[in-house]
Amino acid sequence: MSFDGIVVSNLVCELNQTLIDGRISKIAQPETDELLLTIKTKKESYKLLLSASASLPLLYLTETTKPSPITAPNFCMLLRKHINGGRITCITQPELERIVHFEIEHRNELGDTCKKQLTIELMGKHSNIIFRDGDLILDSIKHVSAQVSSIREVLPGRTYFIPETQKKKHPLLITEEEFCTFVLKKPMPLVKALYSSLTGISPILAEEICFQADMDSSLPANTLTPIEATHLFHKFDRIMESVRQQEFYPTIYYKEKEPIEFSSLPLTLYPEAQTVSFNSISMVLEQYYASKNTVTRIRQKSVDLRRIVQTALERNRKKYDLQQKQLKDTEKREKYKIYGELIHTYGYGLPEGSKELTTLNYYNNEMITIPLNQDLTPQENAKKYFDKYGKLKRTYEALSELIKETENEMIHLESVATALDIALLEEDLQEIKEELIACGYIRRKQNTIKKQKITSKPFHYISSDGFHIYVGKNNYQNEELTFQFAIGNDWWFHAKGIPGSHVIVKTNGQELPDQTFEEAGRLAAYYSKGRDTKKVEIDYTEKKNVKKVNGGKPGFVIYHTNYSMLIEPDIRGITSIS
């Protein structure tokens, strides 16, 4: 991961410059594994985000405020009791690990000055925020018992220590001799030998070291000659000298306007990438991870809804396959009808006990042989075939209706799945949940019979020509936008033949420029199931041509007059208002 020990070192340097002697004025816990501290210094007020998310652990200064639960969690209450109003006296990083210790001076209930420590460990699924009194753990945002970890328990009353699960060398203190014997004697690719032997070195920085030394990172480390080993160490040591001198260059690297990497040190292995430099590593982390953090959080919160939708989809797909198989069995119904008619027409002269009738099929002027039950009369054989025909016809008609219902159900569920992909806020998930409740996929809890208030709103953009564009986030919003918000001459856009958002362009009686048509089409493509493809076909028409399907699911429409365009699902450059 890019968030390595070097980035943490850069971050600690920045926090020491801004937060030392600052007082903690507010402590919030907006997520189960996240803290937001407001810290006031003599000059300014700062917000510090600490996240122990297993998928995206983070630590940085931010200007964003997140809503907190009405009742604060126990960990948050404990911190408020002990360190609210406390002064940050020291911020350290042990041996270039992805760990930051905050030492906080405060007064206890007797008015005596005390010191406590708040530690954040940024280690993937093992990430945690631990509140300590020296080596004594007072509490942690995640409790880790012996059943979870045999290496270290993180529980109130236990002793705090940093587990040495991997024996690595400190990259700022390692000598050339140690480097050559400890790192370069391993029978593994050079890049892996670097990041697996040295604390705080990420794979991307290990690649950069090899690149600067002009060496193939995939070569076995133990095959380097003494001269090559010395050359590599000097390149490595020059990079580490920047860390020792705290000479950092927070930068994000872009490829075709998409961020591909960030670093606190210059990365020369991306010569063709566009770079944006920042004065603050916090700004880098917030900008780089903001969208990823939002998506990760919402995906975590939507797991249950996704599972419900996916289960229902799989059940309907199995049902659809079975119905199709049963429908195929009804294809011989017309054959039985012809058998009955031909027996009625030509069977009057058959001898008693005949096992078959061979005659001319007047539908295609070909000879046909019809099997007969020798114990039945020709009339009874005809009736038997007509009965079979009638039964299969009724089955065909019923199955055709059921298959249509199953298809619509699958389309609806896929549209809900697409809405879950689009959702960015908890309010968006709540509206989707209400739709699933209304459709019978989820039972409303008895203690919440009253429908929850929905605060989610459609996306709102403004085109380059100044026209307002609205994008529904889910079926309820699609329905409201198309049939309550839009008027006759407004333009309606939707991805052709796949689930996606209804996009409405408010015309205010004006004619739309080509640029606005294109931007609305790009939005419809992006907010659809086809957003990961190169091109998406978009249908668009005036709203007056769009009709609601009688008895259809929310957001289901029909239209017979439309234009089409093939466009990329790229919304960069389109101004978002909300």
* Secondary structure string (H, E, C) spanning 521-550: HHHHHHCECCCCCCCEEEEEEEHHHCEECC
Place of tokens 């000879």: 367
Question: What average pLDDT does range 198-223 have in this prediction?
Answer: 94
Amino acid symbol at 197: S
Q: What are the two backbone dihedrals, phi and then psi, of residue 434, each rounded to the nearest 5 degrees?
A: -60, -40
Place of tokens 């889910």: 474
Question: What average pLDDT does range 105-111 have in this prediction?
Answer: 88
Question: Which residue from 345, 369, 339 is spatially nearest to 357, judged by alpha carbons?
Answer: 369
Q: How far is CA 111 from CA 106, 334, 389, 498, in A?
A: 9, 95, 94, 66
pLDDT at 83: 95
pLDDT at 552: 83
Residue 184 has pLDDT above 60, yes or no: yes
Which are the contacts of 553, defined by CB distance < 8 A and separation ≥ 6?
408, 412, 415, 439, 475
Which range is least confidently modeled, 254-258, 278-282, 399-403? 254-258
For 566, left (φ over 0), alpha (ψ -120 to 50), or beta?
beta
Stated as kind and residue range, the H or E segment containing 62 is strand 58-62
State how far the Cα of 495 lies from the Cα of 409, in Å rounded to an integer: 19
pLDDT at 166: 64
Question: Which residue from 202, 205, 260 is spatially nearest to 235, judged by alpha carbons?
Answer: 205
Q: How far is CA 554 from CA 143, 351, 408, 411, in A?
A: 43, 63, 11, 12
pLDDT band at 452 (very low <50, low <70, confident <90, very high): low
Produce one character per residue of 550-578: b if its CB has 16 or more CB atoms within 10 Å, e if not.
Answer: eeebbbbbebeebeebebebebeebeeee
State how far the Cα of 318 lies from the Cα of 107, in Å rounded to an integer: 65
Q: With H, G, I as helix, E, B as strand and everything else as coil, classify residue 35.
A: strand
Question: What average pLDDT does range 468-478 have in this prediction?
Answer: 94
Question: What average pLDDT does range 185-214 have in this prediction?
Answer: 93
Produce one character per residue of 92-130: b if its CB has 16 or more CB atoms within 10 Å, e if not.
Answer: ebeebbbbbbbbbbbeeeeeeeeebbbbbbbbeebbbbb
Predicted confidence (pLDDT) per residue in 18-75, tens digit: 999 999 999 999 999 999 999 999 989 999 999 999 888 999 999 988 888 889 999 9
Relative to beta strand 23-31, strand 34-40 is: antiparallel
Which are the contacts of 482, defined by CB distance < 8 A and separation ≥ 6?
472, 492, 502, 504, 543, 546, 555, 557
Question: What average pLDDT does range 275-300 have in this prediction?
Answer: 82
Question: Which residue from 503, 506, 513 is spatially nearest to 464, judged by alpha carbons?
Answer: 513
pLDDT at 514: 94
Token duo for residue 352:
């008693």
Stated as kind and residue range, the H or E segment containing 38 is strand 34-40
pLDDT at 573: 85
Alpha helical stretches, state H, 277-372: 281-301, 303-329, 333-346
Contact 195, 206 (CB under 8 A): yes
pLDDT at 165: 54
SS in 3 state form for 184-234?
CCCCCEHHHHHHHHECCCCHHHHHHHHHHCCCCCCCEHHHCCHHHHHHHHH
Question: What average pLDDT does range 197-222 have in this prediction?
Answer: 94
pLDDT at 291: 60
Total-model pTM: 0.61
Burial of 187 (0-12, 13-18, 19+ CB in 10 A): exposed
Contact 389, 340 (CB under 8 A): yes
Strands, DSSP E only, in 466-572? 468-471, 491-495, 503-505, 536-542, 547-548, 557-558, 563-567
Q: How far apart are the first and last CA of the chain?
A: 31
Question: What average pLDDT does range 140-152 have in this prediction?
Answer: 90
**How many CA atoms within 13 Å lie on the side-chain side of 558?**
6
Average pLDDT, the chain: 91
Token duo for residue 542:
């005036």
Residue 344 has pLDDT above 70, yes or no: yes
Question: What average pLDDT does range 398-409 have in this prediction?
Answer: 92
Neighbours of 56 (CB within 10 A): 20
Residue 92 has pLDDT above 90, yes or no: yes
Neighbours of 156 (CB within 10 A): 12
Relative to beta strand 366-371, strand 356-361 is: antiparallel
Residue 191 has pLDDT above 70, yes or no: yes
pLDDT at 491: 96
Residue 174 has pLDDT above 90, yes or no: yes
**How many CA atoms within 13 Å lie on the side-chain side of 444?**
14
Tell me the percentage of the chain whose pLDDT exceeds 70: 96
Place of tokens 């739709």: 435
